[in-house]
Chain A
Amino acid sequence: MNGGIAKKTLTHIGISLVLLLNILPLLIALSSSFRSVSNMTNPLQLFSEFSLESYRVAYDKMHFMQALGNSLMLTVISVIVVVLFTSMAAYPIARINNRLSKALYLFFLCGLVVPSQMVIIPIVQTIQGLHIPSSQFTPILMFITCSIPFSSFLYTGFIKSSIPIEVEESALIDGAGLMRRFWQIVFPLLLPVTVSVVITQGVWIWNDYFFNMIFISRAAESPLPLAMLGFMGDQTNPTAWNVLFAACFLCALPLLVMFAFLQKYFIGGLTVGSVKG
């Protein structure tokens, strides 16, 4: 039996080493962020000082509360619209089995491979052509559009595999119309995949800086990742590292807190669409 225990200990040590190496850059950045602004000892001396001075400077420089509010607004509005629009779109595509459905399914899916940086010029032109003002809300349009392919793919797969048509037939006999059947019967059953859509799309929208950078020009309207762009250049200046790293963790903090509480959903949400295939 001794051999078994030794083997297990070795496995633990092996895994710990690999993963420690994996999160080492984050640990070093975290430890530096707890230093006072002028503390220039090597970042590799981990957790040698605990000061919140760098955080205070970073907090002011990125207007944290304002940026957090902007991020929340952008992400919440986008995700709600994505859930409503794509669950609706997936419903007929999954239910009706004909050429049109198949074509629509593939048509949406194709959007997945087109990167947004590639079409950004005509997108800007289109938005200007429609006389949509370039404001804080403009990125939302693109967040929603770019989320359509993957979300409708997840919803379609889930309705096909897990929501039998029989659940609707009894409601139909009771005289429920299309709207009521979808919103009161089908939509609640979609909860697992809705969680998955909220998490996968919410994380990228929260972290995206590209569309924000293109459409938002006023500092007061910047969400967190865009506020981080204000630190551009500091990464090659060792004297600015403590504040830069504090800003990095302030930027990541909201998602890390969410993850700490909803870990199960984050991990599960990734695999809803994948295990079934």
Chain B
Amino acid sequence: MNSAVLKKTMYWFVVPALTMYLVFWIYPILRLFQYSFSDYNGFIQNFNYIGFDNFSQIFKDGVAGTSLSNTLIYTLVFVVFSNLIALGLAFLLNMKIRATGLYRTAAYVPTLFSAIVVGFIWSYVYMPDSGLIATVLSWFGVDGASLNLLGNYSSALYAITAVDVWKHIGTSTVIFLAGLQTVPVDLEEAGRIDGASSWQVTRFIRLPLLATSMTINVTLSLINGLKAFDYSFIMTNGGPGRATSTLLFEIFRMAFREMQYGKASALAVVSFIVIIAITIFFVLRLNKREVSA
């Protein structure tokens, strides 16, 4: 620590990044709190402060509740399915077989596409009548024309979550695979010599050693899920009704389509508190469970 290399002047190196971060990220977040107590509409600069009116309004007309529960369902489904599928895929791809490189590429390619492209392609998949799912169902004699996954209140939210899961799996799989490759082979062999079945090797040796990649993947997917916006914006426009209206989509809609900056800011403050609370809770819990090889 007392090395001559270390000097307080080194902190000058932080200044460029810190300046940008403070001006374009932290300062706007603080302004958000200010706007949330005002009737600001984006045009008139001398706005009035109206106390907690924005907050009571967004809770009274149900916007906050609906978008909050949509976001939480989206996040839960997203975290569970993207990690389970990726974990399964990583175990498959970790087997000592040929062409794993090719398979890994096939698993990873969807992550390279822009959300907007993914949204367009999946709109085709879900399209009633001529879409992919409808056509395949009609081969089996099921009437696919009436199946409108994106247009249906009860299925739309799950349908857009599935798209995000599909796009995200490649990333999680690669991270799990890297984690699996750090599991020492002699540890697995020792387990087998002791008479552990392959299920037991997986359960008691591999899974605990995957804790680090598990923490990373769950954290990343949690953050990603709480940020849900893209597919509500591209595929469903928040609809039908408010069925796919996530917190961020609702903030965007209020601000840029209805010009209600004050109300949008109030919802943003609510989202901010929810997102921070959930993330901190999970990150602290996950970090406690890690073991090292």
Contacts and interface: CB of A to CB of B under 8 A. Distances in A.
A94 to B, nearest CB: 10
Nearest to A14: B92
A248 B125 contact: no
A141 B111 CA distance: 25
A92 B268 contact: no
Contacts of B202: none
Contact of A126 (B8, B31, B42, B235): B31
A118 B92 contact: no
B135 A44 contact: yes
Interface residues of B, number: 96
Nearest to A228: B116
Interface in B1-41: 1, 3-11, 13-14, 16-18, 20-21, 23-29, 31-32, 35
A113 B277 CA distance: 10
A89 B13 contact: yes
A161 interface: no
Contact of A25 (B1, B7, B121, B174): B121
Interface residues on A, range: 35 or more
A209 B116 contact: yes
Nearest to B175: A274
Contact of B103 (A8, A19, A44, A144): A19
B265 A121 contact: yes
B193 interface: no
A147 B89 CA distance: 29
A43 B23 CA distance: 49
A18 B85 CA distance: 10
Interface stretch (B60-68, B72-80, B248-256): B248-256
Contacts of B117: 225, 228, 248, 251-252
A145 interface: yes
A241 B271 CA distance: 37
Contact of A117 (B114, B248, B261): B248
Closest 9 CB pairs of A and B: A235-B123, A122-B28, A122-B31, A207-B114, A92-B10, A271-B178, A89-B17, A115-B227, A88-B13
